[in-house]
Amino acid sequence: MLKKLAAAFNDLERGRRGSFGNDISTPENRRAALWHFHLFDHAILRGLWTNLEQIAPGVWRSNQPSPARIERYAKMGIKTILNLRGTPKVSHYLLEEETCAAHGIELVSIALAARAALPKENYLEVIDLLDRLEKPFLFHCKSGADRAGLVAALYLLHVENAPLDVARKQLSLRFLHLKSTKTGVLDHILDCYEADMARLGPMGIRDWFADHYDQAAVRASFKPLWNRS
């Protein structure tokens, strides 16, 4: 019984039960999508806590913005939003897509992971995007803690030529990033970059991903602090 209830909840959370959360084309479905957004995507917790921070001139990071916040960002002059959550046809993406279009903001989407090291092509794609997005721009994930933190670090390393210890601060408790959990794999990626620079000499973060990053080795060598003996 409990397993069935859990499965039903998961279906609701992912917007797979009828039109709950995956359609905004009618007033009824829009109301359902807003409930989905606030409850299942936890937007209710992001009403006051935005995790908004300017990391460089014309570059901001945050958690998932609501339609009202996107409107405020447009008034701030934001030209582009980089969404790090992909394009699932559920409430958070549908509402963001609609609101960006309404306010003349270009929405660019890419799917990154908070708890796993991805193939190098994913990171090269986001680094190359950071080179060409129109400023002022903002990027976000769900909480603004992990994926946004890694992308902020990559921006500082690649575009601002910031020292690694400065870039690492984007993955910190200040943004509610917890290195001791599975999301610590993002810190571990930077650890591996640092280790290769110590062995091979200084190199840019893009060059490292292109020529030296080893997804399998990063995954195999990472163990969350809470899971170490």
pLDDT in tens, 191-228: 999 999 999 999 999 999 999 999 999 999 999 876 54
pLDDT in tens, 34-43: 788 777 878 7
Residues 64 and 165 in one domain: yes
Q: Which residues pair with 82 in a beta bridge?
A: 108, 139
Burial of 40 (0-12, 13-18, 19+ CB in 10 A): buried
Residues 64 and 31 in one domain: no
Residues sharing a CB contact under 8 Å with residue 226, sequence separation 6 or more, in sequence order: 180, 181
pTM: 0.88
| Cα–Cα distance, 57 to 140 (Å, whole number) | 17
Residues 149 and 213 in one domain: yes
Residues 128 and 190 in one domain: yes
Residues 113 and 134 in one domain: yes
Residues 2 and 109 in one domain: no
Residues 30 and 106 in one domain: no
Q: Domain range holding 7? A: 1-40
CA dihedral 4, 10, 11, 16 (to 10 degrees): -170
**What's the confidence (pLDDT) of residue 44?**
85
Tokens of 83: 């969404």
Residues 96 and 203 in one domain: yes
Say if residue 8's pLDDT is above 60. no
Residues 61 and 155 in one domain: yes
| 106 contacts 81 by C-beta, under 8 angstroms | yes
Residues 8 and 91 in one domain: no
Residues 30 and 54 in one domain: no
Query: For the packed helices 91-102 and 67-76, what is the interaxial angle rounded to 10 degrees?
Result: 30
Query: For the packed helices 120-132 and 147-158, what is the interaxial angle rounded to 10 degrees?
Result: 60
CATH label of the domain that carries residue 58: 3.90.190.10
Domain total of the chain: 2
| 63 contacts 49 by C-beta, under 8 angstroms | yes
Residues 20 and 55 in one domain: no
pLDDT in tens, 88-118: 889 898 989 999 999 999 999 999 999 999 9
